[in-house]
Every structure is written in C-alpha cells, then in structure tokens.
Amino acid sequence: MLKIAIPILPSVFDASLAITLDVLGAANRLRQASGKPPAFEPVMVGFGRRRVQSGAGLTLGPLQPPSAAEGARWVVVPGANVPTPDEVDAWLASAEARRAIRWLRAQAAAGATITASCVGSFLLAEAGLLDGQEATTTWWLAPHFRARYPGVTLDMQRMVVPGLRCWTAGAALAQADLMLALVAHTTSPDLAHACARHLLLDGRTSQSRYAIAAHLAHQSPLLRKAERWLRARLAEPLTVQALADALHTTPRTLARRFATELAMTPLAYIHQLRVERAVHLLETTKAPIDDIAQQVGYADRSMLRRLLARSRGTTPAGVRREGLKPAAQAPRPALRRAARPA
C-alpha cells in the first residue's frame, strides 16, 4: 500500500480533512470490491500534542508522531480554518506550524510529493517548497499570499496546480479535486472517476468563477472605495481615468495598486464586477439577455458572451439554464485532468 502522511495542525479545516480520508477510503473500498487489495494507507501525524482541536472545535486524535510517516511517498496537508490574513500569520508562527514546516522540508528532501489545499499552501510556501514554482491557494487570501511570497507564481485559474515536487489546490473543498487527482496519478483515472461517482463529487476545473470581486478588494481601503464607486455606476461608460479622478489618484498609481493587490488591471476588475452582476441577474430574473447586458454597461450581449466564455467557460444562456436546473438534473460528475488550465 502507498503510505499517505497527513499532517494535522490545530484549526485544521474539518471538511478538508474529512474529504481526504473519504476519498482514500472510497478508493480502497472500490478496489476491494473488485477483488484488489487496498491502495492507500493514510497516517495522521501531529507535531506536539496527541490530540488537537479542529477549526469547528472537534477533538482529533490520537495522532501519530511524525516518525510514523517514515517511508511515505505522498504528504497531504489539509486546509485550515484561519480565514483572515492576521489569523494566517498567527497560525504560521505557532510552534506546531514551525515544527511542521521543518518536517515538510525533510519529507521533500527525502523525495516525497507534498500536496496542500487552501491555507495549507501557505505552509508549503513558508517552507520554501514553492519558490520559483506555480501554485494556487484559496481565492480570498490570494492578495496576502502574493504579498508574503513574491517568489511564487500564483495561478488562481486552476483548481489544482501540479508541480514536480508539490501540488496545490484552491479553497478548502478543492481538497476533493486534489485527492481525485492524487488517486488518478498514483493508481488509475478509472478509479478516480469511480470515486467521484461514488461520492457525488463534481468536475470543477477553476476557482476563479467562485471569487467574489468585493471580497478580493476588501483588504485595501483604496480598493474598497474603488469597488463601491464602480458598483454604483456599472451601467455607465467607465474609464480608468474617471475612476482615478474619483479616488484622487492617478491612473498609473491605480494600475500599480490593482496589479500588486489583485494581480489584475483596473479594467479587468471592472469587467469582473460587471460579469458578477450579470450572472446574478441571469440567475434571478427573466430579463432578456440584451437588457441585462445593458444594465451592466455593455451595448449588447456580444461583449458579455465573450467575457463569460473567458472567465467561466459558459454563455449567458448557459448561466440561465444552470441557474434554473433542478438539483436532480445536475450533470454526472467527471474528473478533469489536474494540469488542464481553466
């Protein structure tokens, strides 16, 4: 069996840990049902206390000492329930996190593939394992990640970003995508598909569609003002110069702040706000698509169609169909290749 080491730190995200164990357990059961031996041996290890409290307040343990993971070829770091930059920084500074960081370096040096989702990717970056690499993290902490780890190329378009020695995934429930990719890579895509069907997991390939523009901007007073000003005028012609004038700054300064804090241009942010509003109107009203396009500042549906295709891989009519589709008619889940861009 393939030993999978799962480091458990205080405030571990309950769902992320559960998904890890459930996908590995489902893979083992499905193999056994077909007459094959189980493929995975998960080992939960701790870094001080034998029992820790999860993010939801549950007591987890007893945990194994790190030595129990000797020989593990894969390490899976679940997400953590530390949703703000200050909480992330405090979590990374804790004694257990520092011990885990040293242990992760040792595991990587021994040849293990290190994986993480959500805030767990901060742990990998803190260990220096992502320097010069592509990675992803939870979308609302992307600005903080970029500021803290400028040597890492952050890709917020893919749900799972595989690398030579480290794999990362997006927000906490992207742990499902990460685990399915792990199963596909270490056993077979067919087994990963079977796990997805067994657990009713969907086939998401991008987390950008879940990123709420206002949430991304909330950490900066200047960008909060920009967001409020723009939202009040989405149906109007908008220019970067007009936005800069309203904020008493220059277009150059504005572009620099957007690039640093959101990794996008002011114009791209305007389009994101408009698309977000359009999706809401498509899902909650029966207004004609051309009317909705005009309500968000586009002369007709053609520009809205192009932006939806680029950012969400769908059309205005597709958004409306999905919004009206009963849960019972949802498409069957399918695994997408981890390395395929959104």
Instruction: Give CA–CA dist 137/166, Å, rounded.
Output: 13
* Average pLDDT of the chain to the nearest whole number: 87
Higher pLDDT, 2 or 263: 2
**Residue 144 to residues 141, 154, 166, Cα–Cα distance (Å):** 5, 11, 20
Q: Delimit the domains of the chain by residue range.
A: 2-209, 213-324
Q: Where are the beta strands (DSSP E) in the chain?
A: 2-7, 40-45, 52-53, 59-60, 74-77, 113-117, 134-135, 153-154, 160-161, 166-169
Instruction: Render pLDDT for 247-272 as a digit per residue (tens, 0 to 9).
Output: 999 999 999 988 887 778 999 999 98
Number of residues that make up the chain: 342
Predicted confidence band at 77 (pLDDT cuts at 50, 70, 90)?
A: very high
pLDDT given at position 259: 84
Give the β-pairing of 166-169 and 160-161: antiparallel
pLDDT greater than 90 at residue 325? no
Please, what sign has the CA dihedral across residues 2, 110, 106, 108?
negative
Instruction: Over range 181-192, report the average pLDDT.
Output: 90
Asked whether 167 and 181 are in contact (CB, 8 A), the reply is yes
Asked whether 70 and 64 are in contact (CB, 8 A), the reply is no
Instruction: Over range 33-49, report the average pLDDT.
Output: 94
pLDDT given at position 211: 57
Asked whether 188 and 161 are in contact (CB, 8 A), the reply is no
Instruction: Render pLDDT for 94-131 as a digit per residue (tens, 0 to 9).
Output: 999 999 999 999 999 999 999 999 999 999 999 999 99
Give kind and range of the element (H or E) at residue 147: helix 142-148
Q: Does domain 213-324 sit in CATH 1.10.1060.10?
A: no
Instruction: Over range 218-224, report the average pLDDT.
Output: 77
The CATH homologous superfamily for domain 2-209 is Class I glutamine amidotransferase (GATase) domain (3.40.50.880)
